[in-house]
Structure 1
């Protein structure tokens, strides 16, 4: 798809969409590249929203992923501030919110996700630059914040707010935050960090609605709050694809090449694809995956047809903890601590799913400590080759 190709449309002015556009150009595509985004600005980085932007360490002008000169060099037909509203795969046309159309020869869907909401009164969420700036103005000494949801986003926002002197209450329905992803023992360690920094962490708490004075709990009681941040997960932005014939199931369903249909590929948070390395379908909401899958989708659209089989990577900064993880930790069967100490919040944990090593997570460890494990995950190392090198679980059970 080079030379006089009718062009490629990328729906999503995101990290994934930008990576796809750059890869198309590097790979020799000289036709039109149309990039469509519902926000009125060029692609920008989202991980700093809950940390550097929320804390005020960064100004918003540090967020753009590329300079205007770099974007100009790509020769994009940039249509910002317009959302995709429909797809006609027969006519190969994307319909836009302003009534215009974008015809394509190849299409990359990179529309990302949006925050889940709770019933009731409006509450803050944290997905866009505007979201972060609106919340930032509500934080500081003498201010109060309730965060609903102690996943990675809620935990990062709680940590940032607490560091600014905000009185933070963190509400989580699970008995142990993040246990489903990192294991109970690791989850308890991360939870203790909030308590040690003065956050009022309450687990086993279900919030049913937001009210003007705070949040209502399942038992009918009220947790008063000056400001409420809802961080209870996200929904893939796929509504515009209804009736298109694409398979939609918690994302755009793609094969191992990130293909959703002939000439249509998915990338980033919105894409659910079959990762052959782990032999499972997954949808990954991490910045690194967005860029890598955007590149892979672009190459495969141009005919490379290489399976997209990454070892996923994510990181999180909370208080003085630098958390890094490689692999697919969800649904794991066992966790073992390979190095360090859980109580000291300086350790490396490895994860087993079935008969294979499938993940590694480090807290407070140097980056090089995870590299051998990353390589072992990428080569599908059997667990029986790993287990003899590991100490027994400190709790006598699979964490």
Structure 2
């Protein structure tokens, strides 16, 4: 395959910026143009709901140093979103109406926070969002968080650190229930309750008033600060309008992240990846996926065809609990095996399906990360008793 002379990257988040850097690391000497809708240079998102929101840092982790893009001749255009993709003539149109050609294109447009009709609250997706929300999290403020997922839980922890009075509302029975199941979800429920969070679980939101949140049954929760943590929506508008194949909630890509157009690739939140390790499409909205796919896709953009096979990974820090999750479990189908003590919040949770390991989560337990990755990546054939008692490195 002939090496492209001009690569355009649409999106300046972690996936897009990682791809730009990896292209130069691979020795690519052609033209790279990267367009972003934010005015800031590329940064990583985890600190927005952790260190920045907690007040431990004022800035996120930057993907590259300030001079990186200039020094590496990457034409970075912040605050210049792409409004039209024309695969037929291999061009994109930016918000100023200028037309730009490409030989290969990477779509890395990320996601936007979901909003609820009638809600006038904070969302958390950008550095500016984090700073604006942090300014509101002060002593005694009544903070209502709609959504008991990862963002909702991390915002709750930060709000309590700042002395706010926190209530979290979600129609599910337990926080993180869909991802972790009942037993592990209960660990996070109790963690937050021990730190003074008020849960309103199993209760739906009927609407919003000038004073706060209206629950089903017309109960009103007063809110000085309203936070919406109800998930994110992938930015698919460009791909859809261009006629690219869409599947499983994202842009359909093959094992090498190539879309239905051979000159267009997609990475990060929007990519519904035909994952060779799982045998079906996987779309993941986590930091590691954006970073790893962005770094990886530099190869296929230059003509390599080794498939992307990384297992999903994410982490969270809430109060004194830290955790890492590897793999892809379905708590409704998979058998939960616990090594350690749930009540002490020092354990490893495993999810087994048909005798093979699907996922593992270590909580306040940091010695077995390498072994856990290897076991999850290989879908190791293991027994519950081995997972509870055996040397995990020896199981690899």
TM-score of Structure 1 vs Structure 2, range by shorter chain: over 0.9
Match status 1:251 vs 2:250: yes
What are the superposed Cα offsets for residues 149-202 of structure 1, whole Å, 9 maximum, x if unpaired? 010111001001111111000111111121211121000011111100000011
Q: Which whole-Å CA distance do the structure 1 matches of 2:242 and 2:173 have between them?
A: 41
Superposed, which structure 2 residues align to 1:363-374 within 5 Å? 363-366=363-366, 368-374=367-373
Partner of 1:72: 70
Q: Which whole-Å CA distance do the structure 1 matches of 2:99 and 2:208 have between them?
A: 39
Partner of 2:21: 22
Change (3 A) 1:356 1:257: same
Change (3 A) 1:346 1:69: same
In structure 1, list runs of 5 or more residues that go unmatched: 393-399
Q: Which whole-Å CA distance do the structure 2 matches of 1:120 and 1:151 have between them?
A: 21
Q: Which whole-Å CA distance do the structure 2 matches of 1:148 and 1:94 have between them?
A: 37
Q: Which whole-Å CA distance do the structure 1 matches of 2:312 and 2:347 have between them?
A: 20
Match status 1:93 vs 2:91: yes
Match status 1:225 vs 2:203: no
Change (3 A) 1:161 1:199: same
Instruction: Give the CA deviation at 1:332.
Output: 5.7
SS of 1:186's equivalent in the other structure is helix
Instruction: Give the CA deviation at 1:25.
Output: 1.0
Q: Which whole-Å CA distance do the structure 2 matches of 1:330 and 1:301 have between them?
A: 33
Partner of 1:40: 39
Instruction: Give the CA deviation at 1:353.
Output: 3.1
In structure 2, list runs of 5 or more residues that go unmatched: 390-396
Partner of 2:265: 265
Partner of 1:386: 383
Q: Which whole-Å CA distance do the structure 1 matches of 2:111 and 2:354 have between them?
A: 30
Match status 1:171 vs 2:169: yes
Partner of 1:343: 343
Partner of 1:396: none
TM-score (norm: length of structure 1)? 0.93
Instruction: Give the CA deviation at 1:272.
Output: 1.0
Superposed, which structure 2 residues align to 1:182-197 within 5 Å? 182-197=180-195
Instruction: Give the CA deviation at 1:355.
Output: 4.4
TM-score (norm: length of structure 2)? 0.94
Q: Which whole-Å CA distance do the structure 2 matches of 1:224 and 1:70 have between them?
A: 47
Instruction: Give the CA deviation at 1:391.
Output: 4.8
Q: Which whole-Å CA distance do the structure 2 matches of 1:86 and 1:146 have between them?
A: 38
Q: Which whole-Å CA distance do the structure 1 matches of 2:294 and 2:387 have between them?
A: 36
Query: Are the counterparts in 2 of residues 2 and 30 from structure 1 also a CA contact under 8 Å?
Result: no
Query: Are the counterparts in 2 of residues 333 and 351 from structure 1 also a CA contact under 8 Å?
Result: no
Query: Are the counterparts in 2 of residues 331 and 353 from structure 1 also a CA contact under 8 Å?
Result: no
Aligned length: 387
SS of 1:137's equivalent in the other structure is helix
Q: Which whole-Å CA distance do the structure 2 matches of 1:300 and 1:157 have between them?
A: 37
Partner of 1:321: 321
Q: Which whole-Å CA distance do the structure 2 matches of 1:355 and 1:8 have between them?
A: 45
Query: Are the counterparts in 2 of residues 214 and 228 from structure 1 also a CA contact under 8 Å?
Result: yes
2:202 to 204, 214, 229: 204
Q: Identify the range of structure 1 (174-183 vs 8-17) with the bigger mean alpha-carbon deviation.
A: 174-183
Query: Are the counterparts in 1 of residues 11 and 36 from structure 2 also a CA contact under 8 Å?
Result: yes
SS of 1:257's equivalent in the other structure is coil
